[in-house]
Structure 1
């Protein structure tokens, strides 16, 4: 997802460029960032299939540069969905889950950044596969490693200020760990590094955009109220990812802390519903997310 034109001279070049890349929390589980939901690193038996559909509504109404709130009244809303398919297979005694994720949706800018307009369509295809190195269901202990490949297949137009696609390849490597603290309480931890390819058609002048690696750390606690119903809450911290346009540093290194709380319920043994609410707590550069609602439907077959 990209932003290419300045909407106000007061924002400054760095703030608006940072806004582009601090949209990392826009999708879950990570079409742009590599967000996870609590429980995602639970290994299931080989032969299991999952079909998932995500919906996220998010609002952003503040813009920051070097930790300072910019003197404008921006508004950027997003309605984003993700279709995801996961297949678990046993290979040589290890569980692996090849999968794909396809984001789609709409962005709309209003108020002082209304000149940016809106964008809709399909995002970049994501290919992934977790390999579980630790798989101990009896103690609720799991450890897995997941490579993600972002393929630049999404809608992108260099002359548009907002885009759903990024026109660049990306690669992320994530590790996730789950452990049962008690019979009812579980801890989820995840960390990842994302590497970015270049976008050589950035803006109408077709500048070259490059970005440093970024890192994200996530942690959650889940409390099992009933066998099929849990409450969860967590924090995420993302840093790094400074950008350069035609070799000029934009001084827009990301430092974003966000929170979320939610619940998940197996309505049927093969059907789970999940709802989370989240928001940014602290932002160094870019838009600050005021509210985010994530909904997910998961079916097992």
Structure 2
């Protein structure tokens, strides 16, 4: 049995797609199919259920995957030991995160992972929840931090932290000492994330009537751009308080006093549970530690653990 075939099966189990696996391994789909057929013939067992666009491992496939991962990890450790260095655990580790995490505790997580795995390559993609969840389902990420879980076999999700959302605006536009009612807030120009995005879906019910947003709403898919628009006085916006700590301290933005508190945002971590289990478990553990340390470093009302 060739290590190439074992690596191919592990990659196929992670990607859940023959085409993406062929692209990752720089080969063709027929070659991937041939390697799988060789494994199934040698092991005398069907490893994958496929057809009608579906893809799943059989019970034997799950067992083979776990054994192959252990064997390949042993080979990596042996190579690293002979070369006098730690072997990379996964090449590369593919992380997806929304702006609110990439700008807060993601740098600490990446730094801690590099300290634990000096040779590890990390690919960080910053995007919206919709694209991250879709990409996770297609096997494009190993772990994501977004606002929705991936509801599918082979994935595990948990709340990594909770961020308090606040209305914020420039002193050019709002009175920092005034308490605004929902109706008064609706009369102000509003900067929001795009329609149908999770943050927008949190804002619309706040006003009980989505039409209240229609005439004075500017949408943007970048947290950084929204913050700049708020600073320039183009409107008020509901964003995580921790993402504007510096602007609040400098007086560039003020938290709008409101009669109705805005609900907090739950950050959901989703990770691959069927491949590289030992390594992914270490990554998730470090993510929990990084999130906890960040929450402990800011005001308790801004961010906390579930």
Query: TM-score range with shorter-chain normalisation?
Result: under 0.3
TM-score, length-scaled by structure 1: 0.23
Higher RCO (CA-CA < 8 Å; seq separation 6+)? 2
Bigger fraction of residues in strand = 1
TM-score, length-scaled by structure 2: 0.23
Bigger fraction of residues in helix = 2
